[in-house]
Amino acid sequence: MDRRVARLILVMLFLWTSGIMLEGQDLKDTGSTMDAGHSFPPEFALTANENQSDPAASGDSSANATGGGDYGGNKHGLTQIFRRFQWHGTISQGFIYGSGNNYLSMDTNDGSGKWSEAAINVSTALRDNVHVGAQVHSYFMGQLGRGTAQLDWALADYRVKDWLGFRGGKLKAPLGLFGEIEDTDTLYNWALLPQSMYEVEFRSYNIPVEGGEVYGSVGSGRNRVTCQLFGGRRSVAGNDGGPLLSWQIFGIKLGPMAGPTYGGAIRWETPIEGLSAGVLFDRADLFAPSAYWPYNPYGWPLWLRTDSVVRREIYSLRFRRGKLDLAAEGKHEPHWVSNDGVPILPAGSPRNAWYVMGAYHFTNKLTAGSYFSRVWGTSFADTLRWAYYDPSKPEFYGNDTVINARYDIDRHFYLKLEGHYIDGDLGAFFPATNPNGLQKITRLAIARFGFTF
């Protein structure tokens, strides 16, 4: 495990245990019978204002926890400050063993545990309808992530009405059913989400947007439409898979890559219990002003000014009723790449994908499921391949058949086991870890173990 991830985990454990200790303090101070071992140890939320309904009874008529006033008279120093915040965190460790291609820049054919993730967040309510918070995320996945602690999101949320709100800061942009949570392992059953849609090697591009969002909803109950419109700036982190692929496949060092983005998502909770449908559109114009191509066919080093336009359309369906959870999504992602304004390819090369999945909750602890995921075309990171696109070649398609089981040991700990049979290339068979070229078939056995508070 990388030292930086380990450091983050230590901080999380400290906060978690601090939460328990503070809860004990709270128990003593207020006479609450809260159990120190409950599921959400640091119950520091000030979203509800104790004693405010009866200021006289509290003996403090100015008590205003949500407004940042003298909560409880500020009698307990650090405890009371901490009570203003909610702290939550998650850590997970993955192991992959397989045959065929090495996956995700790990030596999976020999078995690899170089897959650690951790995140911690803090949030608080400044007023009834104003919340702020931030999350730091760190991951280590083969040569990706490198354990760097990165700001995952940091935002202010102002809910004007129940049907209208605004968010600003660094946000998690909507992306299909799982886009906003794809780096939070505890929130879904699968060890790997369908990689045709949620490529872990492109997380830094897929998930965060620095900017703003308007969100709203109409209807209620089982017939409700929610809408998000966002705009801002996307960037590709240097420790992400895009730059690594570009370097390993083409010998191009991309350097900083960022640009404006906008998009919108609509989701409809239909009158049919459990059935929802959604659609997303977004676009990003990514600019890499100092890409460097030292070894190229021209014989001398070249500096490139690369523009990429990536558009996405995603259509989603989900049916959740009782113990059954079914989902299907499709994606169309054309992209255009040019250098100094000159198109590298005459037309946008598309990447298309879809998947279907089903899971069944056998008990409160055990869920099992399966999905089939397919992708074809090229991503914007390897768009140069489009020049010799041949859909019958395994580097231009990927079919992934998956079986999975998740066991929740308790509310904090969980274990996932998953098997993949991959025909073709899902996009994360990095050349450096596959020096003998691409194998058509890859088999993977994955285990992930995690803890959340």
CA distance 346 to 378: 15
Phi, psi of 395 (to 5 degrees): -75, -10
Q: Does 33 bind other proteins (CB under 8 A)?
A: yes
The residues in 211-230 that bind other proteins, with binding defined as CB under 8 A, are 217, 220-222, 224
Q: Does 318 bind other proteins (CB under 8 A)?
A: no
CA distances for 309 relative to 99, 233, 278, 286, 338, angstroms? 35, 13, 23, 6, 9
Among 155, 175, 381, 444, binds other proteins (CB under 8 A): 155
Measured in whole angstroms, how far is the alpha carbon of residue 60 from the centre of its chain? 43
- Assess contact for 205 and 179: CB atoms under 8 A: no
Residue count at the site for other proteins (CB under 8 A)?
59
Q: Does 159 bind other proteins (CB under 8 A)?
A: yes
Residue among 313, 16, 74 nearest 175 (CA):
313
Using the minimum distance from each CB to other proteins, give the nearer residue, 213 or 382.
213
Q: Does 340 bind other proteins (CB under 8 A)?
A: no
CA distance 395 to 245: 13
Phi, psi of 50 (to 5 degrees): -65, 145
Using the minimum distance from each CB to other proteins, give the nearer residue, 165 or 243.
165
Length of the chain: 453
Q: Does 151 bind other proteins (CB under 8 A)?
A: no
Q: Does 157 bind other proteins (CB under 8 A)?
A: yes
Phi, psi of 135 (to 5 degrees): -135, 135
Among 112, 135, 349, 433, binds other proteins (CB under 8 A): 135
Other beta carbons within 10 angstroms of residue 118's beta carbon come to 29
Least Å from the CB of residue 229 to other proteins: 15
- Amino acid identity, position 407: Y
Interface map 66-105 toward other proteins (x if CB under 8 A): --------------------x-x-x---------------
Using the minimum distance from each CB to other proteins, give the nearer residue, 66 or 306.
66
Interface map 45-64 toward other proteins (x if CB under 8 A): x-xxxxxxxx--xx------
Q: Enumerate residues 6+ apart whose C-beta is below 8 A from 225.
A: 217, 218, 219, 266, 267, 268, 269
What the block records as the tokens of 213 is 């969002």
Using the minimum distance from each CB to other proteins, give the nearer residue, 168 or 350.
168
Using the minimum distance from each CB to other proteins, give the nearer residue, 152 or 199.
152
Residue among 208, 269, 274 nearest 240 (CA):
208
Q: To which residue do tokens 């390819």 refer?
A: 345
Contact residues for other proteins, defined by CB under 8 A: 32-35, 38-40, 43, 45, 47-54, 57-58, 86, 88, 90, 119, 121, 123, 125, 128-129, 131, 133-135, 153-155, 157, 159, 162, 167, 171-172, 180-181, 184, 186-187, 217, 220-222, 224, 273-274, 361, 364-365, 408, 411, 452
